[in-house]
Amino acid sequence: MIKAVMMMNTQGKPRLAKFYDYMPVEKQQELIRGVFSVLCSRPENVSNFLEIESLFGPDSRLVYKHYATLYFVLVFDGSENELAMLDLIQVLVETLDKCFSNVCELDIVFNYSKMHAVLDEIVFGGQVLETSSAEVMKAVEEISKLEAASNSISLVPKSVSGWRGR
Amino acid sequence: MEQLKTIGRELAMGSQGGFGQSKEFLDLVKSIGEARSKAEEDRIVLSEIDILKRRLLEPDIPKRKMKEYIIRLVYIEMLGHDASFGYIHAVKMTHDDNLLLKRTGYLAVTLFLNEDHDLIILIVNTIQKDLRSDNFLVVCAALNAICRLINEETIPAVLPQVVELLNHQKEAVRKKAIMALHRFHRKSPSSVSHLITNFRKRLCDNDPGVMGATLCPLFDLISEDVSSYKDLVSSFVSILKQVTERRLPKSYDYHQMPAPFIQIKLLKIMALLGSGDKNASEIMSMVLGDLFRKCDSSTNIGNAILYECIRCISCILPNPKLLEAAADAISKFLKSDSHNLKYMGIDGLGRLIKISPDIAEQHQLAVIDCLEDPDDTLKRKTFELLYKMTKSSNVEVIVDRMIDYMISINDNHYKTEIASRCVELAEQFAPSNQWFIQIMNKVFEHAGDLVNIKVAHNLMRLIAEGFGEDDDDADSKLRLSAVESYLQLISEPKLPSLFLQVISWVLGEYGTADGKYSASYISGKLCDVADAYSSDETVKGYAVSALMKIYAFEIASGRKVDVLPECQSLIEELLASHSTDLQQRAYELQALLALDARAVEGILPLDASCEDIEVDKDLSFLNGYIQQAIESGAQPYISERERSGMFETTDYHPQDHHEVPSHALRFEAYELPKPSGPPQASNELVPVPEPSYYSESHQPISTSLVSERESSEIKLRLDGVKQKWGRPSYQSTTSSSSTTQQAANGTPTYSDAGVGSSSSKPRSSYEPKKPEIDPEKQRLAASLFGGSSSRTDKKSTSGGHKPAKGTVNKPAAVPKENQTPVQPPPDLLDLGEPTATTVTAMDPFKELEGLLDSSSQDGGSSDVMGLYSDAAPVTTTTSVDSLLSELSDSSKGNPRTYQSQTSKGPNTKEALEKDALVRQMGVNPTSQNPTLFKDLLG
Q: Which amino acid is at B641?
A: R
Chain A 5-24, CB below 8 Å of chain B: which residues? Answer: 13-14, 16-18, 20, 22
Buried b / exposed e over B673-697, threshold 16 CB at 10 Å, is: beeeeeeebbbbbbbbbbebbeebb
CB A108 within 8 A of CB B9: no
Q: Which of B109, B340, B240 is nearest to A89 (CA)?
A: B340
The shortest CB-CB distance from B377 to any of A47, A99, A154 is to: A47
| pLDDT at residue A72, rounded to an integer | 93
ipTM score of complex: 0.85
Alpha-helical (H) ranges within B203-338 are 208-224, 233-244, 260-274, 278-294, 300-315, 320-335
CB B132 within 8 A of CB B168: no
**H/E segment holding residue A19:** strand A14-19
* SS3 state at B95: coil
Check whether A100 has a pLDDT greater than 70. yes
On chain A, the residues whose CB falls within 8 A of the CB of B7 are 163, 166
| pLDDT at residue B609, rounded to an integer | 65
On chain B, the residues whose CB falls within 8 A of the CB of A131 are 254, 259-261
* Residues 6 or more apart whose Cβ sits within 8 Å of residue A144: A114, B16, B17, B18
- CB of A124 within 8 Å of a chain B CB? The answer is yes
* SS3 state at B253: strand
- CB of A137 within 8 Å of a chain B CB? The answer is no
CATH topology (fold) of A2-154: Beta-Lactamase (3.30.450)
- CB of A40 within 8 Å of a chain B CB? The answer is no
Verdict on whether the full-model pTM lies above 0.90: no
Phi-psi region of A75 (alpha: psi -120 to 50; beta: other; left: phi over 0): beta
CB atoms within 10 A of CB B24: 14
Residues with pLDDT less than 70, chain B: 1-21, 467-471, 606-614, 645-774, 785-938
What is each CA distance from B45 to A15, B24, B27, B29, in whole angstroms?
Answer: 15, 13, 12, 10
Nearest CA in chain A to B105: A113
- CB of A27 within 8 Å of a chain B CB? The answer is no
**CA dist., res. B252 & res. B262, Å (int):** 9
What is each CA distance from A155 to A122, A147, B4, B18, B859, in whole angstroms?
Answer: 28, 11, 22, 8, 87
Nearest CA in chain B to A38: B411
The shortest CB-CB distance from A124 to any of B20, B147, B414 is to: B147
The shortest CB-CB distance from B340 to any of A42, A86, A106 is to: A86
Closest CA–CA distance from residue B539 to any residue of chain A (Å): 30
CB B373 within 8 A of CB B771: no
DSSP B784-813: HHGGGGG---TT---TTHHHHH--TTTGGG
CB B811 within 8 A of CB B921: no
**CA dist., res. A111 & res. A49, Å (int):** 28
- CB of A37 within 8 Å of a chain B CB? The answer is no
Mutate to test the interface with B, among A13, A124, A137 (most CBs of B within 10 A): A124
Mutate to test the interface with A, among B377, B413, B415, B421 (most CBs of A within 10 A): B377
A156–B144 CB contact, under 8 Å? no
Task: Tell me the residue length of chain B.
Answer: 938
| pLDDT at residue B671, rounded to an integer | 65
**CA dist., res. B886 & res. B884, Å (int):** 5
Q: Which amino acid is at B787?
A: G
The shortest CB-CB distance from B300 to any of A87, A129, A156 is to: A87
Nearest CA in chain A to B83: A25
A83–B411 CB contact, under 8 Å? no
| pLDDT at residue B497, rounded to an integer | 84
Average per-residue pLDDT in chain A?
Answer: 82
Check whether A64 has a pLDDT greater than 90. yes
Nearest CA in chain A to B412: A54
